[in-house]
Amino acid sequence: MKKNITRIIIVVLIVLVATVITHFDSFIYKDPVMKIQQVKVISRDKSTDEYKNTDTQIDQRLTGILLNTSKKGKKVTLKNSYYQSQLIDQKYRKGQQVILSKSGQHYSIKNVKRDTVLVFSLGLVIILLFCMKFSRSKLLISVLLNLLVYFGFIKLLIHNNNNYLLIMTVITSLLISGIALLVILGPTSDALMAYLSTVCATTLSILLSVLLLKLSGNSGVHLELTDFGLQPYFSVFLSQVLFSVLGVILDETMDISSSLIEMKKEVSDVKESALFKAGINIGRELIGPLINILLFIVIAEHLNLILLYLSNGNSIGYTFTMTLSLGFTQLLISSIGIVLTVPITSFIASKIITRRAY
Amino acid sequence: MLFLLGAFVVLLLMVAGSRAFSLLFGLAINLISIVALLILIADGFNVLVTTAIISLIILIVAIYMNVENSNTANIAFKTSILIVLIILLITVPLEFWASAQGMGIEDQEELEAFSLAAGVSFPQLAIAIIVVNSLGVISETSVAISSGLNEIILSKPTLTPKEVFADGFSVGNKILSTQTNTLLFNFFSATFPLFFLMNSLNYKAVDVINNKLLVAEILTMLICAMGVILTVPITAYFVYRGVGKKSIDSIDK
C-alpha cells in the first residue's frame, strides 16, 4: 500500500514537471511566441445578420512580450478582432501564450500555444490509471504499438500521395486489430479465433455495403463531402469507416467468443448448435449499445458544422443531407458490420470450440 | 443509402428476432433526442443546460431499454450520470485552457459561403461535443461492469465489499482495453485526413501539435478515456454499497 502511494506521488510529480516544462518550452519554437500581458477591448459592434442571428464583433488590442527568438523580451502590440461566437476566430486572454508569424515588420497571431494543456491532459489520464489497480503495462503497450503503426501509416500515406490509401488502410487495420488482440488475450488460440471472426465479419460487411452502394449508384451519399475534400473520395470514406468500426467489432468478437469458451469449460459436452444459439443470444444484447457508441461519436464529430448550417437559415432536411449523409452512411455500414459479427463469430467460435477438449 | 438501411433492418430482424423492434425503437429515440438538441441550440437555448437535459434522456433510453435486470440498470444509470457530470467538470476548464472550439483555418474553404456570426457559443458547443461523444462509451462501460459484477455476486453471495472492488478491477481491465481501442481507432479514423492535409500545407511539427482541430480530437479521446477509467471504481462502489446493505440486513434478521 505504501509503495503504491509513493508510486502515485512520483507519477504526479513527473506529470507536473512535464507540464511546467512545456509551459516554458518556447525556445524550441522557431516562430516567435508571445505572452499576452494586457488585453484591451477597443470596440464592440453588435450586429444582426440576414438570418436574424445576433452576434457581437469585438476588437481587442493585445500587448505582450516575446519569449523567444533573437528579439526576446521585445514588447509587441497587435490587434485582434473576433465574433463572440468564436467559430474560427478567437478571443485572447491575459496570460495566454500565442504563436506569432511575422511578415515584414508586422506580427500576426498564428495559433494559440496548446502543447501545455495536451501534456497536462495526458498526464491526468496516466495519473488516474496509476491510482487504480489496472494492469497498466498491457494497456500502454497496446496503445503505443498501435500509435506506432498509425504513425507509419501516415508517413507512408504522405509519401505515396494517397495512391494506395485503401490497401494501406486494410493492412493497417489487420495490424492494429492483431496487436490489440495479442496484447489483451495473449498469443493464444482464443486470440486467433477472435481475429479470424473480426476479419471475416469486417470484410463481409464492407463488401456487402460497397455492393449495395454501387447498386444504388451512391444515391443520397455525398462522397465529395469527406473531411477537407480529400481525394479519392470513396477510398477516404471507406478507410474512415474501416477504422471506426474496427474497435467495436473487436469488442464484440471478444465478448462473444470468450463467453462461449466459458460455456464449453462448464459443460464439456455442449453441442455445436447449442453454442451457436448461445452466441446469438449473447450477441443480441451487444448490438444496441455498440451502435449507440458509434452513433454519438459520428454525430458529435459534425456538431459544429450542423449548427453553422442551421444558424445560416438552412432547413433541417438540407442541413442533414449536407452534413450527416456521409456520417449516417458510415453509421449504417458500421451497424451492418455490428449485426453481421454476431452470427459470424458465433459460427466460427462454435465450430472451433466444439472440436477442442477442455 | 436506402439500400443500406434496408439491408441493416433485414439483417437485424434475422439476427435479433423480436428484439430488433426495441433496438430500432431505442435508436430512433436517441436520434430524435439529438435532433431536438440541435434545434434547441440553434434556437438560442443555453448549450450546456440543453446538453445536460438531452444527455439525461439519452442515458435513460440507452440503459433502461438495453438492460433487463433492473438492479444492474439502476447502478449503471447512477454511475453514468455521475460520470457525465465529472466529464463536464473536467472538460470545462480544459477546453477553456486549450481554446480548441469551433473549426480551423483548414476548414475555411468549406466555410466560404457562410455567415460566421452564428450567434451560437462555439466554446460551449466544444464542451457539448465531448459530452455527446462520451455518452455511448460511458453507458456501455457502466452496463458491462455492473452486469459483470452483479453476476459475480450472484454466484458468490458471501463476497466481502473489498472483494467486490477487486473483482470490479478485474472485470474493468478487459473493458478498459476494448474501450480504449474503440476510442483510439475512432481517433485514427477522424484524424488521418487532417494529418494528410497538414502535410500538404507544409506544417511543421510544432504547428501540428498546437493545431486547433487536432488538439480538439486528442482532448476528446483523453477525456472520454478518463470517463471510462473512472467508471470502474464508481460502479464498484455502488455495487459495494448494495452488498453492504444486504449483509447488514441479514445480520438484523
CB contact under 8 A, B172 and A134: yes
Tell me which chain A residues have a C-beta less than 8 angstroms from the C-beta of B66: 285, 288-289
Sort out which chain A residues have CB atoms less than 8 A from B18's CB and list them.
none
Say if residue A146's pLDDT is above 90.
yes
Residues in chain A within 8 Å Cβ distance of B109: 228-229
Scan residues 253-282 of A and list those with Cβ closer than 8 Å to B.
Answer: 254, 280
Chain B residues with beta carbon closer than 8 angstroms to that of A27: none
Closest CA in chain B for residue A280: B15
Instruction: List the 87-106 stretch of A: residues with Cβ below 8 A of B.
Output: 87-91, 96, 99
Average pLDDT, integer, range A210-235: 79
- Contact (CB<8Å) A139/B180: yes
Count chain A–chain B contacts defined by CB atoms under 8 A.
348
Q: What is the mean pLDDT of residues A13-21?
A: 93
Cα(A161)–Cα(A153) distance, integer angstroms: 12
Closest Cβ–Cβ partner in A86, A157, A299 for B122: A86
Q: Is A67 an 8 Å CB contact of chain B?
A: no
| CA dist B4 → A148, A202, A207, A321, A335 (Å) | 34, 15, 12, 16, 10
What is the average per-residue pLDDT within A231-235? 82
Q: Which residues numbered 105-164 in A keep a CB inside 8 Å of some CB on B?
A: 110-118, 120-122, 124-125, 128-129, 132-135, 138-139, 142-143, 146-147, 150, 153-154, 157-158, 162
What is the nearest CA distance from A261 to chain B, expressed in angstroms? 16
Sequence ranges of the domains in chain A:
1-133, 135-354
Q: What is the 3-state secondary structure (H, E, C) of chain B?
A: CHHHHHHHHHHHHHHHCCHHHHHHHHHHHHHHHHHHHHHHHHCCCCHHHHHHHHHHHHHHHHHHCCCCCHHHHHHHHHHHHHHHHHHHHHHHHHHHHHCCCCCCHHHHHHHCCCCCCCCCCHHHHHHHHHHHHHHHHHHHHHHHHHHHHHHHHHHCCCCCHHHHHHHHHHHHHHHHHHHHHHHHHHHHHHHHHHHHHHHHCCCCHHHHHHCHHHHHHHHHHHHHHHHHHHHHHHHHHHHHHHHHHHHHHHHHC
Q: Is B199 on the interface with A (CB under 8 A)?
A: yes
B205 and chain A: CB distance < 8 Å anywhere? Answer: no
Among A33, A133, A173, the strongest candidate for a mutation testing the B interface, having the largest count of B CBs within 10 A, is A133
Taking the C-alpha atoms of residue B214 and residue A118, their distance in angstroms, rounded to an integer, is 10
**Interface check B85 vs A, CB under 8 A:** no
Q: Say if residue A232 is preceded by a cis peptide, omega within 30 of 0.
A: yes
Distances (CA, A) of B192 to A243, B137, B213, B223: 10, 22, 12, 20
pLDDT at B253: 45
Whether A340 has a pLDDT exceeding 60, the answer reads: yes
Distance CA(A90)–CA(A111), nearest Å, equals 9
Contact A336 B7 (CB under 8 A): yes
Rounded-to-integer distance, Cα B85 and Cα A349, Å: 40
pLDDT tens sequence across A99-141: 888 877 788 888 889 999 999 999 999 999 988 877 788 888 9
ipTM of the modeled complex: 0.91
Could you report the average pLDDT of every consecutive run of 10 residues in chain B (253 residues)?
85 86 90 90 88 93 85 91 94 90 80 78 91 92 88 78 80 87 92 87 87 93 94 88 62 48
* Chain B residue with Cα closest to A94: B97
For A32-42, b/e burial (b = at least 16 CB within 10 A) is bbbbbeebeee
- Residues of chain B positioned with their CB less than 8 A from the CB of A53: 115, 117-119
A158 closest CB neighbour out of B106, B190, B199? B199
User: CB A134 to CB B229 under 8 A?
Assistant: yes
Contacts of A295 in chain B (CB under 8 A): 27, 30-31, 136
Tell me what pLDDT residue B244 has.
Answer: 62
Burial class, B245, CB count within 10 angstroms (exposed 0-12 / middle 13-18 / buried 19+): exposed
DSSP bridge partners of A61: A40, A79
Of B12, B129, B210, the CB nearest to A111: B210
pLDDT given at position A207: 93
pLDDT value at residue B71: 86
Q: Is A339 on the interface with B (CB under 8 A)?
A: yes
Give the model confidence (pLDDT) of A35-49 as tens digits.
999 899 888 888 887
Q: Which chain B residues are within 8 Å of A111, Cβ to Cβ?
A: 207, 210-212
Calculate Rg over the CA atoms of chain B: 21
What are the backbone angles phi and psi of residue A101, rounded to the nearest 5°? -125, 150
* Inter-chain touch B193–A236, beta carbons under 8 Å: yes
Instruction: Report the pLDDT value the prediction gives residue B169, as an integer from 0 to 100.
Output: 84
Region for B99 from its dihedrals, namely left if φ exceeds 0, alpha if ψ lies in -120 to 50, beta otherwise:
left
3-state SS assignment for residue A187: coil
User: CB distance from B28 to chain A under 8 Å?
Assistant: no
B195 and chain A: CB distance < 8 Å anywhere? yes
Q: What percent of chain A has pLDDT over 70?
A: 99
Among chain A residues, CA nearest to B27: A292
Interchain contact B169–A (C-beta under 8 A): yes
**Per-residue pLDDT for A51 more than 80?**
no
Contacts of B186 in chain A (CB under 8 A): 243-244, 247, 297
Tens digits of per-residue pLDDT, A167-212?
899 999 999 999 999 988 888 888 899 999 999 999 999 999 999 9
pLDDT in tens, A262-307: 888 888 788 888 889 999 988 888 898 899 999 999 999 888 888 8
CA angle in degrees (0–180, nearest 5) for B11-B14-B20: 85
- Asked whether residue A231 carries a pLDDT value surpassing 80, the answer given is no
Q: In whole angstroms, what is the distance from residue A186 CA to residue A181 CA?
A: 7
Give A135's Cβ-side CA count (13 Å radius): 13
Using an 8 Å Cβ cutoff, are B232 and B172 in contact?
A: yes
Which residues of chain B neighbour A287 with C-beta distances below 8 Å? 12, 15-16, 23
Burial class (CB in 10 A: 0-12, 13-18, 19+), B1: middle
CA distance A228 to A230: 5
B232 has a chain A CB within 8 A of its CB = yes
Pick the residue with more confidence: B242 or A33? A33
Gap from B62 CA to chain A (nearest CA, Å): 7
Q: Cβ B169–A134 below 8 Å, yes or no?
A: yes
